[in-house]
Amino acid sequence: MSERSIIHFNVADFAVAVERLCDSRLRGRPLLVVQPGSARAPVYDMSEEAFGCGVRKGMDLGRALKLCPEARLVAPHPERYRRAMADLLRAARPWAPRIEVESESGHLFLDVTGCHRLFGPPPDVAWRLGRLVRRDLGLSPIWTVGPNKLVAKVASRLVKPLGEYIVGGGEEEAFLAPRPLHLLPGIEGPDLLCFHDFGLYRAGQVAAFSARQLAVPFGRRGSHLYDLVRGIDPSPVAPWEEAGSLGFEACLAEDSNDPAVVERELLVLAETAAGALRRLRRVARRLTLSLIYSDGGRAGQQAASSGGSANDAVLFDLARGALLRAWKRRQRLRFLRLACDRLAPPPPLQLELFPAQPAGHQHRRQRVADAVAAVRERCGAGSIGRAHVFAGSAQGGASVAAGP
């Protein structure tokens, strides 16, 4: 396979950068983007100054203010971030046939493989686009060039909050070898603790082990980790979609480690997401579930559906699968975020020639979901729902919000 050229653009602390564009008085001092009013509210984003004081995303506001008392607070404006992201995409579109929005938080992957005859070498494309974004949008992106998304992203994390890095094909393993393991996407919390227990702190140390050896402590994830520390990542840059992704989040009314409570909130998120997808006439082929624990710890997992879906029950099943894989600690949960991306038009309906169940189960579920959506469309989002969700709400449910 010929070498790929992937550019990663990342406007660090995207929400902060956008808020500072809107209000220049916010520049040059610590800034927290957070829903004010509750000391439990998780920090949505923070400036580099606040990061330097120890504030992290997901940390509760009370603790963040103890660490950084001089920080100014701004409420999140998801619509602003979506618009800024759309502008960023618009600037990038002429430069690459494939653009992936990793999430609506200032991350873009551009696959410029084979474009050199049109636009020149990839570093030149990255530099010119970066200059354009700075001039036209007032945002200062990090840009990196690598042979795959993994390497390009690690390079971005290395130079954050500002800078550039070029990694050539064939240099992946040598580039990663001296890097701390926490810089590698996908190695978090429990994995890191496990590696540290073995006295392993850098990618190069882990690369000394075979996939079989890594399977002993990590099970089936062993082979994934084996590839990760070597910079092997064949995942494609997913084609750009008009509505790149949708995100929905919920802050639990009280921190909880009760699976029934958490699943109830997840169901609300899945139903909200499915409704939004149906309104857009799209299906989601990938869900990303992000969790924030009450101590600020984070976890996340993804679930994919090859054909995509906008069905409440299907999305909930996918999300619940992700929840089971992501929720590894006994610590109580505070915050859930469900993002849907790899959006696509619904596949054409193909009836089965020999259906296993006439008027099958799936079909009935779809009809129920459509009926529920129709009622919500007419009478409002809270007008109809599953009984146990309403029961949960009566005991103090969460608020759901659409986010970037």
Partner 1 sequence: MSGERSGKNGPSILVGTSGYSYAEWVQAGFYPPATQSGRMLPFYARHFPVTELNYTWYQMPRAEPLERLRAGAPAGFFFAAKLTRSLTHEVDPADWRRQASLFREGIVPLVQGRQLLAVLVQLPPDFERTAGNRRYLAELLDSLAGLPLAVEFRHRSWLHDRVFAELERRRASLVWVDEPELPHLLPPLDVVTNPELLYVRFHGRNAAGWRSGVMQKKFDYLYSEAELRQWLEERLLPRRGLFSRGLLFFNNHVGAQAVTNGRQMLSLLGEAGF
Binding footprint of partner 1 on the chain (CB under 8 A): 1-3, 5, 114, 116-121, 123-124, 126-127, 147, 163-171, 174-175, 178
Q: How many CB atoms lie within 10 A of CB 216?
A: 9
Radius of gyration of the chain (CA): 22
Sheet hosting strand 142-146, strand order edge to edge: 98-103, 107-111, 6-10, 142-146, 164-166
Q: How many CB atoms lie within 10 A of CB 102?
A: 21
DSSP letters spanning 34-50: --TT-TTPBP-EE-HHH
Q: How far is the CB of 146 from partner 1 (least distance, A)?
A: 10
Q: How far is the CB of 116 from partner 1 (least distance, A)?
A: 5
Reduce the DSSP state of residue 97 to 3 states and report it: coil
Taking the least distance from each CB to partner 1, the nearer of 3 and 258 is: 3
Residue in the block written with tokens 């564009």: 21
Taking the least distance from each CB to partner 1, the nearer of 15 and 125 is: 125
Query: Beta partners for 262?
Result: none
Q: How far is the CB of 142 from partner 1 (least distance, A)?
A: 11
Peptide bond into 404 cis (omega under 30): no
φ, ψ of residue 106 to 5 degrees: the values are 85, 15
Q: How far is the CB of 6 from partner 1 (least distance, A)?
A: 12
Taking the least distance from each CB to partner 1, the nearer of 37 and 169 is: 169
State the Cα–Cα distance between residues 84 and 96, nearest whole angstrom.
19
Q: How far is the CB of 237 from partner 1 (least distance, A)?
A: 17
Q: How far is the CB of 131 from partner 1 (least distance, A)?
A: 8
Taking the least distance from each CB to partner 1, the nearer of 3 and 79 is: 3
Taking the least distance from each CB to partner 1, the nearer of 11 and 145 is: 145
Taking the least distance from each CB to partner 1, the nearer of 116 and 388 is: 116
